[in-house]
A and B are shown apart, each in its own frame.
Chain A
Amino acid sequence: MRLLLGSLFAFAVAALVGLGTTWLTLAGSTAFGAVSIGAWTAWPRTGTTSIDPYARAAIARTGQLPLGLGDGVAFYARGDDNGRLFDGRCDVNLQGITPTARFWTLTLYDLDGRLVANSLNRHSFTSQEIIRNTDGSFEIRIGPRARFGNWLPTGGIDRYILVLRLYDTPVGVATRSGRETPMPSIAAGQCP
C-alpha cells in the first residue's frame, strides 16, 4: 500500500515537474546560443542544423520558419535599452547605424508575430526606404501618433516586438557585440 501511494506520489511529481518545465521553457522561448547587443538579441544557430531542441520545439509550436543563416540574421527587441518593455501607447526612438549587410528590414509585430493594423498600412522599413542623416545614421520614431521623418506606427497596441533582419551579412554564430556590430540604440520617449 505504501509502495503504491509512494509511486503514485512520485509519478504526480514527475508529471508536474516534467510538463511544467517544458511548458515554461517553451512559453519563454529560451534558446541557447543567443547573441545580445544592447536591447537586441539574435539566435543565429536557430537558422542552422545545429539548432537546439528547445528552439526546435518552439518553432514547431508557433509555426514560424527561422531565417536560414545563409540568408540572414534576425535580431529581436522586446524593450528599450533600459530593459523596459515596449508599450504601443508610448513613443520610442530608434537611432544609430546597423552592422554590414546588403539590405536590412525593421518590422513591428505583436507578441504572436502578426503585423499590427494602422491607418498608414506601414508595418516595416527597408534599408532603402529610410531617410538618413548626412553621416549615414538614421532615426526611426515608433509610436501611436504621426511623427515627422521615419514613423513606424504602433497602432496603440499594448506590447510589441521589433525585428531587425540583416540580409547577406557577415554577422553570424561567432559574432560578439563590439565595434563591428553597431546596433541602433532604443530610447523611450514621451508617454501619455
Chain B
Amino acid sequence: MMRLLLWLLGGVLLGGIVHLATVLWLPHTATQDAYSRLQQIAPINAVTALPAPAPDKVLLPFMDPAFATAVCRYDLAKGPLQFSLNVSQAYTSVSFYTRFGIAYYAINDRAAGRRVIQLDLMTEKQHSEMPQDEDVTTADRLIVESPTLTGLIVLKALAPEPGLMTMAQEALATARCRQQP
C-alpha cells in the first residue's frame, strides 16, 4: 500500500513537470496562431489590408470591428525594415508582435507626435552592427528592436462612426513596409 502511494506521489510530481513543459512548448506547436493564419493572405515585408470582421468569417478572433486593420508580416533575415504610416484624423496605432503573438511594442499617433509614424525595425544584432555616424543622421527616426526574426506589424485606424471607415482604410493605404535598400 505504502509502495503504491509512493508511485502515485512520483506520478503526480512528474505530472507537474509534464504540465509545465506542455504549457511552455505549446506556442511552438500551434498551427492556428495569428501568424499562421495570416501566412495565407499576407505576403512577406508588405502591407496587406485585412478584411473587416464579420459574423460568418473570422480571420482572427476578438478583432475590433470599429477599426480598419492592416498587417505587415515581416522577416528581418535579409536586413532591417523601413516602416512609415500617415496617421488618420481619428486614432491610429501600430503594434508589433513576435512570431508567437507577443506584443512587444505599440505606438499611437499621439505618442508619435507627428502626422507620420516613421520607424526602423531591426533585430538587436542589426542595431548593434549599425555604423555609429549613421545614428546621427537618423536621429529623428525611431528604432524598434524585434526580439524575433519574423513577426507581425499590425496597423489600426479607428472609424469613430461607420461612415468614416473608408477614411480609416485610406489612411492605412499610405503605409509602407519594406526592406532597407
Contact = CB atoms under 8 A, between A and B. Distances in A.
B72 interface: no
Interface string B93-119: 101110011111111101100000000
Given A65-B60, A71-B156, A48 B103 contact: yes
Contacts, number: 203
Interface in B15-66: 15-19, 21-24, 26-27, 30, 32-34, 36-37, 53-56, 58, 60-66
Interface string A145-173: 00000000000000000010101100000
Interface in B137-179: 147, 152, 154, 156, 158-161
B77 interface: no
Interface class of chain A by DSSP: mixed
Interface stretch (A13-21, A78-86, A91-99, A180-188): A13-21
Contact of B111 (A66, A70, A103, A113): A70
A126 interface: yes
Given A14-B12, A102-B91, A19 B7 contact: no
A113 B8 contact: no
A142 to B, nearest CB: 16
A41 interface: no
A18 B22 contact: yes
Interface stretch (A32-40, A56-64, A131-139): A56-64
B26 A60 contact: yes
A49 interface: yes
B79 interface: no
Interface residues of B, number: 63
A100 interface: no
Given A10-B11, A17-B16, A18-B17, A65 B103 contact: yes
B3 interface: yes
24 contacts: A6-B7, A14-B14, A14-B17, A15-B18, A17-B19, A19-B19, A26-B26, A47-B103, A48-B104, A56-B27, A57-B26, A60-B30, A63-B30, A63-B33, A64-B34, A68-B93, A68-B103, A70-B106, A70-B107, A103-B90, A107-B66, A124-B66, A128-B161, A165-B64
Interface of B: 3-4, 7-8, 10-19, 21-24, 26-27, 30, 32-34, 36-37, 53-56, 58, 60-66, 90-91, 93, 95-97, 100-108, 110-111, 147, 152, 154, 156, 158-161
Given A71-B156, A113-B62, A124-B66, 13 more contacts: A10-B11, A14-B15, A14-B18, A15-B18, A17-B19, A22-B26, A56-B102, A60-B27, A62-B61, A65-B152, A71-B95, A74-B62, A102-B110
